[in-house]
Amino acid sequence: MGLLLQRIRQSPTLVRVVPFAIFLALTSGQGLFSEEGRYWIYLAKTVLGAWMLWMLRSNIAEMRWKLSGEAIAVGVAVFVLWVGLDRALAWMELSYPKLRLSAMSWNPGMQFGEGSTLAWCFIAVRIAGSSLVVPPLEEVFYRSFLYRYLAKADFLSVPMTRWFPVPFFVTAVVFGLSHREWLAAILCACAYQGLVLWKNRLGDAITAHAITNLLLGVWVVWKGAWHYW
C-alpha cells in the first residue's frame, strides 16, 4: 500500500484521478450487492474516500476549503435549483426524463425500520459522506483536473481563471450524466466551475458543493424525498 501511495503521489494526474476513480467504482458496484449490502458499501467507500483525501492532501495544492460569501450563495442557490427545477418546469408545462442509475432506492428507514438506530446511522453516514467527502473528491477531479486537462495535457500550467468553452461544457455534461437529475446537475456544474473561474481557487467550489449536498440531505430526510439519494 505504501508503494502504491508513493506512486500516486509522484503523478499530478494520478493523485487527482485515482481517489475519484476508486470512489466511483465502488459506487457503481453497490448494485451488485444485496439491498442491505449497499449501505455497508457506502459506509466503506466513504471511510476509504476520507482516508485517501487525508493521505494525499499535501499533494493536491488546490484542495483547500474556503468559506466565502460567494461560496455560500452559490451553494444555497444550487440547492434551490436542484429541488425547484422540476416544479418550475411543471409550471411551464415542461419536464425532462431522469436517468435511472440504480434499480434500488436509498431509504434506510424502509430497509432497517423507521426510527431505528441503523437507519439513523446510515442517514448520518450519507449526509456526512455527501457533504465532507464527495465535494473535494469531485471538485478536484472535475473542476481542477478534467476541465484543465481538456484544455491542455499539461493541466497544471493552466490558470484556474482561464475560460475554455469546450472544456467548460464537456465537464459539465460529464458531471451531469453521473446524476439522476442530470439537467440540474449540468447547471450545478456550470455554477461551481464559474465560481472557480471567478475566485481563482477551488476551495470556494468545494464549500459550495458541500453546502448544496448538506441542504439536500436535510431536505431528503425532512420531506422524505428519498429519490434525490
202 domain-assigned = yes
Residue 146 lies in a domain: yes
Q: What is the pLDDT of residue 125?
A: 97
Distance CA 218, CA 125 (A): 13
* Contact in structure between 109 and 119 (CB atoms under 8 Å): yes
The pLDDT score that the predictor gives to residue 35 is: 83
The number of C-alpha atoms within 13 Å of 210 and in the hemisphere containing its C-beta is: 21
Q: At what angle do helices 2-9 and 35-56 cross, to 10 degrees?
A: 60
Alpha helices in the chain (DSSP H): 2-9, 12-29, 35-56, 69-91, 108-112, 117-128, 134-138, 147-151, 165-176, 182-199, 203-223
Report the domain count for the chain.
1
Kindly state whether residue 191 falls inside one of the protein's structural domains. yes
C-alpha cell at 148: 484543465
Asked if the structure places residue 46 within a domain, the reply is no
Give the pLDDT score at 2.
72
Rounded CA-CA distance 33/196 in Å is: 37
In a domain, 16, yes or no: no
Q: What is the pLDDT of residue 12?
A: 96
Q: What is the pLDDT along the chain (229 residues), one digit of tens a residue?
A: 678 888 999 999 999 999 999 999 998 887 777 788 899 999 999 999 999 999 999 999 999 999 999 999 999 999 999 999 999 999 999 989 999 877 677 899 999 999 999 999 999 999 999 999 999 999 999 999 999 999 999 999 999 999 999 999 999 999 999 999 999 999 999 999 999 999 999 999 999 999 999 999 999 999 999 999 9
Contact 172, 143 (CB under 8 A): no
What pLDDT is attached to residue 103? 63
Range of the domain at 75: 63-228
Classify residue 212: in a domain, yes or no.
Answer: yes
Measured between alpha carbons, how far is 54 from 5 in angstroms, rounded to an integer?
12
Q: Quick check: is 132 in a domain?
A: yes
Residue 28 domain-assigned (yes or no): no
